[in-house]
Amino acid sequence: MTNWTRRQICSMAGGVLAAAAAPHVARSQNKPRVVVIGGGIGGATVARYLGDLKTMDVTLIEPKRRYVTCFFSNLYLAGLRSLPSLTFDFEALTERHDVKVIHQAATVIDAGTKTVTLRDSVMLAYDRLVVAPGIAFKSGEIRNYDASAAEIMPHAWNAGPQSELLRRQLESMEDGGVFVIVAPPNPFRCPPAPYERASLVAYYFKQFKPRSKILILDAKDRFSGQELFQEAWGRHYPGMIEWLPRQFTGAVKIVDVAARSVVTEGETFKAAVANIIPAQKAGAIAEKTGLTDTSGWCPVDPVTFESTLQRGIHVVGDSIIGGDMPKSAFSTNSQAKACAFAIAASLTGSPQFPSHLFNSCYTFLAPDDAFTNAITFAPEGGKIKMVETFISKVGESAEVRRRTAHQAVGWYSAFTADVFGEGS
């Protein structure tokens, strides 16, 4: 994990923000102000690393008091991890890293006056704004799938109550039932995760509901880590997982919530439990602020992560168009550190370092069988390009895979301590 060494910032930009004229605008202190929207992986990392410098006034806006990580939530679904073990609060950021945390949603960003309005009408002025709202779901791509349908057919693509709902449904499912996973089109949050979910739920079924089946109805014809997954499915769960690509089904078009069935171009599939992972786009506040282009995602400068559409606003994490970088927590954390460096340089005159962009993911096939990848990236021609890559191979020994699974557990602890500031 890259660690940003704390350093004294010698010069401070003279630009102390004059608070906007409205009487309820929170007044500036004698430091440049950074407001960060979204206290997930991207927002918490930026806030923590800027807070550590102590040269800026850093405010993090996040409605939830507790954040549950999506990574490792598939282990929770399989009964291999508890939800509390995946849950973090924001106290360390406040107490150890000089971040002011406000538990509210941001409702309006005004790039002209450089203000953010919160749900309770409080207005905050900023010198630099970071927007890290994660993903939203595209509506209308699967007919009848909306927020109320998600209470019956969960997506569990934001961890927390949705994960608990899906776990309860899997626990109460009869042996012999069919668990249908509807996998989304590219690009989406964590490309291997629908297939990791299939693997770990299969592990649970193998022990407790061995006659059950898993059917993946995919909106794609290929998926990330396909050879590694398919080899492992044959080895660990023969005959239990069936994957149907788009070319065979035309993809899922409609859900029938009452009948708990999903409908493709030519067929209806009845589910005992249905997990619908819809097509995705940038978080709602990004779209509302004009930070997204026609793709539904946010174009950014690959060095500073400043929006190319709205100057003075940076975007990190799953909301951006990341070029070759996948939408993952590791990528997000690495982008957030590069973004923090760039903001410090611009507001306080500290040196601008070249951005080091990485991704490394651990993916579980069974509790003691995991594969990994490690990729470096660099900005090139205004985009983020892959430089070097390592990925586990089909046919690795059981011992190598066991070690990788063990390393994944260590990674989780170190990574979350880095993001939420619970380490040093």
Ligand X SMILES: Cc1cc2nc3c(=O)[nH]c(=O)nc-3n(C[C@H](O)[C@H](O)[C@H](O)COP(=O)(O)OP(=O)(O)OC[C@H]3O[C@@H](n4cnc5c(N)ncnc54)[C@H](O)[C@@H]3O)c2cc1C
Among 49, 67, 76, 90, binds ligand X (CB under 6 A): 67
Interacting span for ligand X (CB under 6 A) from 129-137, 144-152, 215-223, 227-235: 129-137
Of residues 278 and 283, the one with the C-beta less far from ligand X: 283
Taking CB under 6 A as the rule, does residue 34 contact ligand X?
no
Q: Give me the least distance between CB of 10 and ligand X, in Å please.
A: 31
Q: What track of x and - describes contact with ligand X for positions 230 through 269 (by CB under 6 A)?
A: ----------------------------------------
Taking CB under 6 A as the rule, does residue 48 contact ligand X?
no
Q: Give me the least distance between CB of 385 and ligand X, in Å please.
A: 19
Site size toward ligand X (CB under 6 A) is: 37
Q: Which amino acid is at 149?
A: A
Taking CB under 6 A as the rule, does residue 145 contact ligand X?
no
Taking CB under 6 A as the rule, does residue 191 contact ligand X?
no
Taking CB under 6 A as the rule, does residue 71 contact ligand X?
yes
Taking CB under 6 A as the rule, does residue 39 contact ligand X?
yes
Among 32, 42, 51, 177, binds ligand X (CB under 6 A): 42
Of residues 12 and 309, the one with the C-beta less far from ligand X: 309
Of residues 97 and 348, the one with the C-beta less far from ligand X: 97
Taking CB under 6 A as the rule, does residue 133 contact ligand X?
yes
Among 332, 334, 346, 392, binds ligand X (CB under 6 A): 332
CA 35/CA 58 separation, integer angstroms: 6
Rounded to 10 deg, the angle between the 329-348 and 41-53 helix axes is: 30
CA 68/CA 389 separation, integer angstroms: 29
Of residues 38 and 263, the one with the C-beta less far from ligand X: 38
First to last CA, the chain: 14
Question: Which two three-digit tokens encode residue 302?
Answer: 């690959």
Q: How many Å separate Cα 329 from the centre of its chain?
A: 5
Q: Give me the least distance between CB of 277 and ligand X, in Å please.
A: 8
Q: Which amino acid is at 293?
A: D
Q: Give me the least distance between CB of 215 and ligand X, in Å please.
A: 18
DSSP assignment of 314-367: EE-GGGB--TT--S-HHHHHHHHHHHHHHHHHHHH----PPP-EEEEEEEEEET
How many other C-beta atoms can be found within 10 angstroms of the C-beta atom of residue 9?
A: 17
Nearest to 111 by CA among 382, 345, 314: 314
CA 94/CA 47 separation, integer angstroms: 10
Nearest to 61 by CA among 280, 334, 285, 282: 285
CB of 274 within 8 A of CB of 260? yes
Q: What track of x and - describes contact with ligand X for positions 305 through 324 (by CB under 6 A)?
A: ------------xxx-----
Nearest residue to ligand X by CB is: 40
Binding to ligand X, residues 344-363 (CB under 6 A): 361-362
Q: Give me the least distance between CB of 14 and ligand X, in Å please.
A: 30
Question: Which two three-digit tokens encode residue 45?
Answer: 């990392």
CB of 270 within 8 A of CB of 259? yes
CB of 296 within 8 A of CB of 185? no
Would you call the peptide bond into 187 cis, given omega within 30 degrees of 0 as the criterion?
A: yes
Interacting span for ligand X (CB under 6 A) from 31-39, 121-129, 290-298, 369-377: 31-39
Summarize as ranges the residues that interact with ligand X (CB under 6 A).
37-43, 61-64, 67, 70-71, 73-74, 105-106, 132-134, 157, 189-190, 193, 283, 285, 317-319, 327-330, 332, 361-362
